[in-house]
Structure 1
Amino acid sequence: MQKGIRLKGGIDDKSFANRLSHEPEIVELFLTEKDMERTPLIRERIREMRRRGIKAYMHHPSKYRGAYLDILSEEPEMITFYRESTAELLRICEEEDAKCVIHAHYVGMGNAPIDRESTIALREAIASIPGYDSGLLLWEDSTEGLFCYSNPYLIDDLIVPLNLPINVDVSHAFIGFRGDNDKLCEVLERTAPYARYYHLVDSMGQRHDSLPLGAGLIDWERVKPFVEGKDFIFEINLTGDHADCTPMVESAAFYAAVR
């Protein structure tokens, strides 16, 4: 069986069985708003992985009632869901030996300017989340907006002051810099002390395309030294019902061959 298999999938039977069939080292469970109504199943999946020696990660739901989550949202119901779901997943992490990836936002911050003042407002919102710095919640960057590495204040005025545990999505950073490998590697170097986990995905650098490794323009020979020794998954866009993760397995083979 191929080594270095690190996958993402849902908690539904078909997806979960497919991921386990590849004997992975790590599985990240992508959760939905609906999944938060069946947390016993989430726990069951994590326990099954633990029995098999698989490290368990979760991904906080990305949407609430069809809209992408935003920690600075002015909608009280969205903020309530954000905070309550985060608290519940943190409990699962503590009790089931797992970790959870979380976004401050996904597709920007509306009309919020990309400036130091707005970045500090975002920092304060993150710091108000219980357990934000526990190391069980890992904060992921977006392709645009305040929590994107194209924001020149993100590292110095948010990540460093909070000593924030982060998940670096290599493709998101690459897209944020419109396909600049030099700037991507600068970010990987600067965030190395805070990065606990990585999403490895290729991209052409212009939009959120989530390509298999080798199908885009990311220079993986330059990226790999920053990732070595840390946890990561291959987060590749899948077709159909997302049950077949072959592009992730193929990406693992590509990555293993990178020298």
Structure 2
Amino acid sequence: MRLGLKAGINDQQIADRMQYQPTYFEFHLTAEDVTPTGLVRLREKIRYVRSQQVERIILHHPMSFEGHHIELSMNEASSPARYRFLWQSTLDLLQLAKAEDVQLLVHGSYDDPIEELTTGYGNITDAIRVLFKRLDYLQRIGGQNIMFENSISPIFYYGNPIFDQAIFDKGYRLAFDTSHCFIKLQGDQNAFLQSLATLREHVVHYHLVDSMGLKHDGLQLGTGKIDWARVLPLLNPDASSIYEVQLADQNDAREMIASHRYLTQLEQTLSE
């Protein structure tokens, strides 16, 4: 296991992460980071992080705009300003990702209520159809610089064998959040492991997070119910990863480092 860490566009957070010499680094972006000024600053931070011998850099698309999740499937008529932000920010970040040879991570969906996901559509099937058309488009223009992450949303998640196979057959470059899948499956370990195995070939990035499998809890690895000894052999060895665990202090990565220590010790034990 190689170390992957995450931080916002914050000098103190970045300095804290760089002291551990991570192999992978993910920027957690906000709407402020994709303004013209924000993008200039982001480019500077990307170049700084790369100068610290970080091998792979990932840009996590902003999660929200004006207090609402950025749903890739959103209907333009229902949220015109948010819709404009979705596409402007995505295209701007994709252009930056290509120019700087980094990765853009986009959520296929979040966990908004079904009534919000279907606003402006006849039903959830229509929303899913629109979502996959947009994923197809982004994959086509993004190529090797874009990936799509799962959540616990009913329109883009991992853990259903039929849905997993459909996603796999699309050939998308995938980001796999372990806690999201485990929570969606309400802690069903075997179904979770099967999803990891099914999608493994197309996963290019992991969010390694523990969970009790009931709700978003973002636990440090080894403190939840995920069986990491069974997970490790199912991870794609060519993929990057970061520990997306809850921190007591955003300026101190100690819970991420403890998670990495846990996983590397487990890896050593399994190899003996």
Provide Cα deviations, 1:101-127, integer angstroms capped at 9, x if missing partner.
110221146234997665333211322
Mapped to 2, the partners of 1:183 and 1:239 lie a distance apart of 31
The alignment's TM-score, normalised by the length of structure 2, stands at 0.87
The answer to whether structure 1 residue 136 and structure 2 residue 145 are counterparts is yes
Partner SS for 1:204? coil
Give the AA of the match of 1:174: F
Moved more, 65-74 or 172-181: 65-74
Moved more, 222-231 or 172-181: 222-231
Moved more, 9-18 or 143-152: 143-152
Structure with greater helix share of residues:
2
The correspondence of residues 113-124 of structure 1 with structure 2, limited to 5 A, is: 118-124=127-133
Mapped to 1, the partners of 2:161 and 2:231 lie a distance apart of 21
Partner SS for 1:29? strand
Mapped to 1, the partners of 2:200 and 2:104 lie a distance apart of 19
Mapped to 1, the partners of 2:265 and 2:21 lie a distance apart of 19
Q: Decide which of 177, 183, 188 is 1:175's aligned counterpart.
A: 183
| 1:211 matched residue in structure 2 | 219
RMSD (CA atoms): 2.1
Mapped to 1, the partners of 2:168 and 2:192 lie a distance apart of 18
CA pair 200-33 structure 1, distance change in 2 beyond 3 A: same
CA pair 17-194 structure 1, distance change in 2 beyond 3 A: same
| 2:33 matched residue in structure 1 | 35
Q: How many residues align?
A: 255
The answer to whether structure 1 residue 190 and structure 2 residue 207 are counterparts is no
The alignment's TM-score, normalised by the length of structure 1, stands at 0.91
CA pair 176-185 structure 1, distance change in 2 beyond 3 A: same
Partner SS for 1:187? helix
| 2:158 matched residue in structure 1 | 149
| 1:256 matched residue in structure 2 | 264
| 1:88 matched residue in structure 2 | 92
Shift of 1:13: 1.0
Mapped to 2, the partners of 1:153 and 1:132 lie a distance apart of 26
Unaligned runs of 5+ in 1: none
Partner SS for 1:135? helix
Give the AA of the match of 2:256: M
8 Å contact kept, 1:144–1:150: no
Provide Cα deviations, 1:174-215, integer angstroms capped at 9, x if missing partner.
001000110011101111121111110000000010000001
- Structure 1 runs (4+) deviating above 6 angstroms are none
Mapped to 2, the partners of 1:203 and 1:137 lie a distance apart of 26
Moved more, 47-56 or 112-121: 112-121
8 Å contact kept, 1:166–1:194: yes
Shift of 1:5: 2.2
CA pair 182-96 structure 1, distance change in 2 beyond 3 A: same
Q: Decide which of 59, 78, 83 is 1:79's aligned counterpart.
A: 83
| 2:24 matched residue in structure 1 | 26
Unaligned runs of 5+ in 2: none
